[in-house]
Amino acid sequence: MTDAARHIICLTFDFDAESGFIARGWTTPTPRSRGEFGVMASGRILDTLGALDLPSTWFIPGFTVESHPAACEAIVAAGHEVAHHSWAHVPPAQQSRDEEAEDISRANEAIQKLTGQKAQGYRSPSWDLSENTIDLLIREGMRYDSSLMNTDYHPSWARQGDVFDLGTPISYGHATNLVEMPISWSLDDFPHFEFIRTPEVTLPGSKSARAVMDSWWDEFVYMQKTVEWGILTYTMHPYVIGRGYRMLALESLLDRLRASGAAFLTMADAAAEARQKLEAGEIG
């Protein structure tokens, strides 16, 4: 490993609170209370980050900003980045272009009232973009998106205009100036831990927190082993990771990462560093 080696960790928290359940039509008291747990848990997450002096990025729906202003103000007061996560956690793939544009604008207005500025970055609810999303984010002045999975440690330029049909080879569209910060369901706490039962599907969740954190650690070790410079993004939800035994496992992972020399950045700062490398042709 050379002196130029740098391995970045982005700790990101999707602060859905109740919005993710309500958007799915789960509006009875118990599912709503699961989201409400995240409001309480956000405080213990902030305490942990503060004790370790670690930055993070919170993707917050406008619905959460306006429903839980004190909890969101605490995030800002602690110096963490607030990024865009829609108005009420409705996936843009389910919206018309006009609906999606209104959703993005309305949520950004709530973020601007909270932080004093519009969000630099965006993450789609349920990681499901529409064909219009990239264009709308650029029009809104976004600098990065964190919704796609085409790479792992090296961000790329988000594309527009892909043409695909199973009868012909894919024709990839043109690159934009929007930095795509890659994510993965395997590095998201929700599918590992949450129990969901509906008439259509059951997600068992409830995996060992230590085992999941070990796999997240292994992902970092592999990044260190295979690339000179890279970014690894962990995606967490306060109502999921905020359970006590999961917090203990997360704290152990953070200690290991700090001891290994990982650089912790907000997603905006990491995306700015990635932009420089993309423009210089060093990655991508």
3-state class (DSSP) for residue 39: helix
pTM for the model: 0.95
Domain assignments of the chain as residue spans, ordered by start? 6-165+174-279
- pLDDT band of residue 71 (cuts 50, 70, 90) is very high
Q: Span 26-49, mean pLDDT?
A: 93
The pLDDT of residue 24 is: 85
**Domain 6-165+174-279, CATH number (from 1.10.620.20, 3.30.465.10, 1.20.120.420, 3.20.20.370):** 3.20.20.370
Q: Dihedral, CA atoms, 213, 218, 219, 223, nearest 10 degrees?
A: 140
State what percent of residues in the chain have pLDDT above 90: 88
Read off the DSSP letter of residue 228. S
Q: What is the pLDDT of the chain when averaged over all its residues?
A: 95
* Cα separations in angstroms, 277 against 29, 127, 274, 281, 283: 48, 25, 5, 6, 6
| Residue 2 clears pLDDT 80, i.e. is over it | no
Q: Span 16-37, mean pLDDT?
A: 89
The pLDDT of residue 21 is: 85
Q: Span 81-102, mean pLDDT?
A: 96
Q: Span 108-129, mean pLDDT?
A: 97
pLDDT digits (tens, 9 = 90+) for 191-234: 999 988 777 777 788 899 999 999 999 999 999 999 999 999 99
Which candidate, 239, 255, 124, 265, places its Cα nearest to that of 183?
Answer: 124
Q: Specify the DSSP element, H or E, that contains 227.
A: none
Show the tokens assigned to 173: 């569209």
Measured in whole angstroms, the distance separating CA 58 from the mean position of its chain's CA atoms is: 7
pLDDT digits (tens, 9 = 90+) for 231-281: 999 999 999 999 999 999 999 999 999 999 999 999 999 999 999 999 999
| Residue 139 clears pLDDT 60, i.e. is over it | yes
Which candidate, 240, 238, 261, 272, places its Cα nearest to that of 45?
Answer: 238
